[in-house]
Chain A
Amino acid sequence: MRYEFILVEHIPDVARSAFPELEESTVAIGTTGSVMYGDVIDAPHLHGILDRFQDLGFTLLELRRLPD
C-alpha cells in the first residue's frame, strides 16, 4: 500500500531522517507544506508514521492511499 501525506509545515532536513521509508515530493504545496509518500506495510506502520509526525510537531493536513 502506498500512502501520501500532506503536511502543513515544510519538513526541515534534520527531521527527514526520521522518515527513512518515505520520499518527499518536489512539487510544492502552497508556499510551505511538504508532500511525503511511500510504502506503508500495514495499519500499525501507518499509525507509527502518524505518531512520528505528531512527535515532531507537524500538522497533518491530508492523508490518502495511492493507487498501487
Chain B
Amino acid sequence: MDSGAVSTTGDRADRTGDRTGARPTGVGRAATRTSPKHRVPGLTGRTVRRSTIRAPAPLISATDRGAGTMVLVAGSVGTGKTTLLADWAGELERRGDLIAWASLDREDNDPQVMAETLLGAVRAAALPTAPWLADEPDQSAVGAVGQALVTRLLEIAATAARHVWVVLDDLHLVRDPRCLDLVELLVRWAPAHLHVIIGTRSDPGLHLARLRLEERLVEVREHDLRFSLDDTRELLSRHDLQLEDHQVRRLQELTEGWAAGVALAAVSLARGRDVDEFLGEFARSDRAMSGYLVEEVLASLDAATRDFLLSTSVLEDLTADLGAAVTGRDDAGALLDALSADNAMVTVDRVGTPTYRYHVLLRSYLGAMLEAGSVRGAREVHARAAQWYAAHDVPGQALRHAEAAGDLDLMSDVIHQHALHLLLDGRASEVEAAVRTVRTDDPVMTAVAALASLDLSDPEAARRQLASLVTGPGSWFTEPEPNDLTGELTDDLDVDPSALPLERLLSVGLRWLAFVGKDTVGHPDGDATDSATDSATDSGPTSADRLAKGLAAELNSTYSTWSEGHPVPDRAALRALADDVRPDASSRAHGPGHGLAVGRVPHAEADLMLLDQLTSGDVLLGSGRFGEARAAYASALSTARAAGHQLPALQAMVGMASVAAAREDLAEMSTWSERVLVESQATPWAGSPRLLPAQVLAGWAAFNVLDDATARGRNEAALELLGVVLSMMQEQARGGAEAGAPAGEMSTAARGLEQLARLARMLEANLDLIEGAGQPGVRQDVVDRVMAGARGVGEVSMTSVLAVGELSRAHRVVLLAGFPRLAREVEQLCEGLPGAAAEVATMAAVRHLRAGEDSAARAAVAPVLASGLPTDLPTDPSPDLKADPAADPAHRPVEDSVKAQGDAAAALPERPRLRVAVTAHLVAAVVAHRNAQPTVAHEELVAALTLAAPERALRMVLEVAPEVADVLAAGAGRFGELEPFVGELNVQARALADLPAEPLLDVALSARELSLLRELPSLLTVAEIAQARAVSRNTVKTQLRSLFQKLGVGSRRDAVAAARRLGLL
C-alpha cells in the first residue's frame, strides 16, 4: 500500500491503510482480498467535504418498524455522487458502522454477476468483525438467486452486530429487472441495522413511492448536490486559488453549482488563466458548459498529453503498461501519474498495479473527439487494446475491443486463440455472443459456438450447430480416426500450433453432446430408413443420421482411448496433484481488466486438451467406466493445474469425487469433495451448480466419519442449491417443445442431478433420524420419505449399481428407525436387480442380527464370506431398470461399443464392494461374540477393520449393531497397526447415541388383533369378519376397540393408515 497516493487528508489515508492491512494476504486467501470493486474510492486532498450534506443516520421511523433505511443519491453526471458516498463511507466507519461498498459496472447487468457483487460487498464488510467468514465457504449464496441470496446476505450482515450500509454506486448502469429485483428484495427485507445507499443517474425502478410512504427513504437529489458558495470557495482553495468574493459568486452562478464544472474551472484556473478573462469567456460561450470546460482543460495541456488522453480514452481501466502499448509511449506511467496528481478528472487505484481511470465526463468527451477526429483512429486504438488484452490473456476485454474496432478478423483470431480459455473460465455467453457477431461460415467458429451452447446448457442449439458441420463438404465422419484424441499433435507438426484443429473440436463437442443431450440422439436405424423415403432426391444421408453415427464413433474412440495405455495414477500421486495449487492459479483475477498484470502465452492447445479430458471423464463416468473416468479426470486436473485454470481444476476434482463415490472409495471421495469446497470458496464458483456433486458428497463424507454437524451444514447448502437448479431445469423443460416428455428422455446430466438429489435427501433423512431419535413422529416421517424414495427406484431410469446403492442406504435408515418389516420390503425391491445378491444377503443378515436371530444372520452372510471377497457389481453401463436398452436405438451405439470394448473393461481390476465385505465380517463377529466365540469374533472384526481402516469408514463399522463396540472392547490391545483406527472407533462409539430398537407402539398387539388388523383393508363388514372367524359380532367389536386404542385411532380407515405407516400391513 503506497499511502503517498492519498495526499493530504490524513484520516483518509489511515483508514485506507486499515482496510487493506486487515486483509489476510496468504496465497490460499489471495482471492479473499477485497476486489477493487468493493473498495471505497480514495479521496484526494482536493476533495471538498460537503458540510451541508452529512452522512445519513438510520431513520427513526424505519427503525421503529424494524426496517433499514434507504438512501437515494440521485444526480446527473458530475454532481459529485461518488465523492459524496466515499466521504460518507469514511464518516460512517468512524461512527463504528460497516460499509459494504460496490462500484457497479455494466457487467453487473447480469443476475449472476450482480449476486456475486452484492455478496462480495457484504462479505468484505463483515469480514473484520466475523473473520470466520473467510474460512466458511459460501456454498449457498453465489449461484443462488433471488430470495436465497438475499437471505444469505442478511445472515452475513447479522453476524456483524453493527449497522451495515450497503453502498451501490452507479446503479443506473444496471437495468436488468432480475438484478434490480435483488436490490428491491434487499431493501424490502432489510432489518433495522442494514441500510442501503444508492448512487444513480436515473431513479431506479424500485418502489420509491412506497418507501417514501413508509418513511424509510432519505433522498439526496440534484438540487441538494449543488455546490454552495462555500463549497465552491473551498474547492478553489484546495487548488491553491484565491479568488475575490465576487469572482467566486460569479463562478458559482455560471456553473450552477455543478461540481464537475467547478472542478474543471479550478483546473483551468490553476494552470494560470486570468480569472476575470476566464469568467468572461465562460459567460459568453454558447457551448454546453461541460463542453466548454473540458475543452478549456484540454487546451491547458500540451499536445502530446492531449493525444495520449485521446487515444487512451477508450479504455475504462488503464495501467501504465496498457497505456504504453496503446499509445506507443514509454513514459505512459509517468504521464498518468502526473495527470492523476493535479487533475481531478483522473483518479488512481494504487492497490496492486496502479490502475488509472478517467472521469466519465472527460472520457465521454474524449471518446466523442476521438470518433470525430477520425474513426480510423478510434478503431486503431481499440485494435491495439484488443491485441494487448489478447496477449495478456484477458480474452473478454480483447473480444470487446476487437468488436469495437470493427475488426472481424481480429475477433475471429481472438476466438480461435482464446475461445476455449473463455469457456474453461465459465464465460460461454461471451463466446457465444462473439461468434454471433463474427458470423462466418468458418467451421471452427461453428464448432466453438456448439461448445459454448453446450456449456450454456442448450444441447438443442449445439445439436443444430454440430449437425450443420457434419453435413458440410469434406466432413470428417467418413474416416473417423479413433486415436486422434490423446492430446498429442504429433502427426500435424506443420499446423499452426495455436489454431484449433476442427476434428478435435468436433469430437469434444460430440462427446459433450452425448453426455448433456437427451438420450434420443437421433435414431441411427430408424432415421436411415426414414430419410431414404423422405428425401429421395437427396442422395446423402441426413444430418441427424450422420450426427448419430459420429456420436457412436466418438463414444467408441473415447472408450478405446482411455481403456488402453492410461495408467491410473496411485493415491500418493493424486494427493500431490491435489496440493499442487499454483499461487498464480488461485489469485488469477476473474474480472476482466483486473488481471492485467499476469502475462501468459495463449495455450489453445492445452485448453483443447483440457476440454477433451474433462468431457471424456464425464462420458466415461456416465457410462459406468469408473477406472477410465478416474484416469481422464486426473489428466484433466494436472492439465488444468499446469495452465492455471481454476474452474476446470475444480470440475476435474468434482469428477474425481464422483468416481470415488461410485467406487465406494470413501477416503478419496472425502479428499476430493472437501478439496473442492476449500478451493472454491471465495471464488466466483463457490456454490456453482457445476460443483454440486462435491457439495453433496462432502456432506456424506462428513457423515461417514460421524461428523453430523458438518454433514448437516453441507447437506443443507447442497439441498438449497439443488432446489434452485431443479426449478431452473423444470422451467427449461416447460419452455422446451415437448411438454410432458417421458422420464426416459432425461439426459445423462439430468439423471446425474436426480441421483444427487436422492443422495442429498437420503442424507437429510439420516440426519433427521439421528436428531429426532426419541420422537416416534420424526421416525415415522423419515421412514415414510425414505420408503417413498425406495419404492420409486423402479420408476426412474437408474443403473442397477445406483439402484442397489440407493436401496442399501434406505435399508439402513429403515432398520435403524426400527421398522424391520419395511426393511424386508426394501430387500425384496432389491432382489430382482442384477448382481445384488450379496448386497441383499448382507441387508437381511443385519436385519436378523438386530432382531436377535443369530443363526439366520449367520446363515445369510455365510455365502458372502465363503465366496471370498465379493467383487464389484458388473460395470455394465446400459441396463436401465425401466428403459429396455434394446428397444431404445439411442442406446445402441453405446451398447455396440460396450461389446467391442467389453473385454478391456472387464479385465480392469475392480475394487471389492467395500460395504458388503465389511458388514458381512462384522455380522459374523457379532454373532460369534453373542455366542461366546471370542476368537472367531476377533478374527472377523480384524478382517472387517482391515478393509475399513484405509477408508476411515467409521460409521460403516459402528452402525452394523451396537455390540460392535463390545467386540471392539473385548479385543482391546490386540489390533496391532489397526490400533489408531480402533481408538477413533472407540471414541466415536461412546459418543454415538445408538437408536434403541424399541417398538413404536406402547403396547404390543396381540396375535388376534394382528390377524384382525389384516382383515381391515378388505371390504368385509364386521358381521362377515365375525362369521368367518366363528365368533360373535361383539367379540370382533371388542377386539377392534382395543386395536383402535392401541393404534391411537378412531376409525377403521385410520387404523389401516396407521398400520401401513408402522409397517404392520
Contact = CB atoms under 8 A, between A and B. Distances in A.
A45 B172 CA distance: 12
B177 A44 contact: no
A47 interface: yes
B203 interface: yes
A28 to B, nearest CB: 27
B205 A55 contact: yes
A22 B201 CA distance: 20
B222 A44 contact: yes
A49 B221 CA distance: 15
Interface string A36-56: 000001111111111110010
Contact of B221 (A21, A41, A50): A41
Contact of B175 (A20, A45, A51): A51
A50 B221 CA distance: 17
B885 interface: no
A44 B76 contact: yes
Contacts of A43: 75-76, 201, 222
Contacts of A47: 172, 201-203
A33 to B, nearest CB: 23
A44 B223 contact: no
Interface in B208-248: 209, 221-223
B200 A52 contact: no
Interface in B730-763: none
Contacts of A20: 209
Interface in A15-68: 20-21, 41-52, 55
B360 to A, nearest CB: 15
B591 interface: no
Nearest to A40: B203
Contacts of B200: 44
A45 B223 CA distance: 12
B416 to A, nearest CB: 37
A49 B200 CA distance: 13
B74 A52 contact: no
B74 A44 contact: yes
Interface in B151-189: 172, 175, 177
Contacts of B209: 20-21
Nearest to A21: B209
Given A20-B209, A55-B177, A42 B202 contact: no
A44 B75 contact: yes
B177 A45 contact: no
Interface residues of B, number: 16
Contacts of B172: 44, 47
Could you tell me the dominant secondary structure of chain A's interface residues? helix
B188 to A, nearest CB: 17
Given A51-B175, A55-B177, A45 B205 contact: no
Contacts of B223: 42
B203 A48 contact: yes
A44 B203 contact: yes
Consensus secondary structure, chain B interface: loop
A51 to B, nearest CB: 6
B56 interface: no
Interface in B188-207: 200-205
A55 B181 CA distance: 13
A45 B201 CA distance: 8
A41 B202 CA distance: 11
Nearest to B177: A55
Contact of B201 (A21, A41, A44, A52): A44
A21 B379 CA distance: 44
B75 A48 contact: no
B983 to A, nearest CB: 65
A21, A44, A47, A50: residue with the most chain B Cβ atoms closer than 10 Å = A44
Interface in B655-700: none
Given A42-B222, A55-B177, A50 B202 contact: yes
Nearest to A56: B205
B525 to A, nearest CB: 49
Nearest to A41: B221
Given A47-B172, A51-B175, A42 B205 contact: no
B258 to A, nearest CB: 11
Nearest to A17: B209
A51 B177 CA distance: 11
Nearest to A49: B203
B221 A42 contact: yes
A44 B81 CA distance: 12
Contacts of A41: 221-222
Contacts of B204: 48
Nearest to A48: B203
A47 B223 CA distance: 16
B619 to A, nearest CB: 44
Nearest to B205: A52
A27 B203 CA distance: 28
Nearest to B210: A20
A42 B175 contact: no
Nearest to B219: A41
Nearest to B224: A42
A32 B74 CA distance: 34
Given A20-B209, A47-B172, A52-B205, A42 B74 contact: yes
A55 to B, nearest CB: 6
A47 B172 CA distance: 9
B956 to A, nearest CB: 57
Contacts of B175: 51, 55
A44 B202 contact: yes
Contacts of B74: 42, 44-45, 48
A21 B75 CA distance: 19
Contacts of B202: 44-48, 50-51
A13 to B, nearest CB: 18
B30 to A, nearest CB: 38
Nearest to A50: B202
A4 B373 CA distance: 37
Contacts of B221: 41-42, 44-45
A27 to B, nearest CB: 26
A18 B200 CA distance: 19
Contacts of A55: 175, 177, 205
A48 B205 contact: yes
A48 B172 CA distance: 9
A10 B239 CA distance: 54
B647 to A, nearest CB: 33
A49 B691 CA distance: 42
A21 B175 CA distance: 21
B186 to A, nearest CB: 19
A49 to B, nearest CB: 8
Most chain B beta-carbon contacts within 10 A, residue among A43, A51, A55: A43
A20 B223 CA distance: 22
A26 B75 CA distance: 32
B224 to A, nearest CB: 10
A55 B206 CA distance: 13
A42 B220 CA distance: 11
A21 B74 CA distance: 17
A47 to B, nearest CB: 3
A22 to B, nearest CB: 12
B643 to A, nearest CB: 42
Nearest to B209: A20
Nearest to B73: A44
B464 to A, nearest CB: 30
A32 to B, nearest CB: 25
Contacts of A46: 202
A20 B209 CA distance: 8
Given A44-B172, A45-B203, 8 more contacts: A20-B209, A43-B76, A44-B74, A44-B200, A44-B222, A48-B202, A48-B203, A52-B205
19 contacts: A41-B222, A42-B75, A42-B221, A43-B75, A43-B76, A43-B222, A44-B200, A44-B201, A44-B203, A44-B221, A45-B203, A47-B202, A47-B203, A48-B202, A48-B204, A51-B175, A51-B203, A52-B205, A55-B177
Interface of A: 20-21, 41-52, 55
**The 5 residue pairs across chains A and B that have the minimum distance between CB atoms:** A48-B203, A47-B202, A44-B74, A42-B222, A43-B76
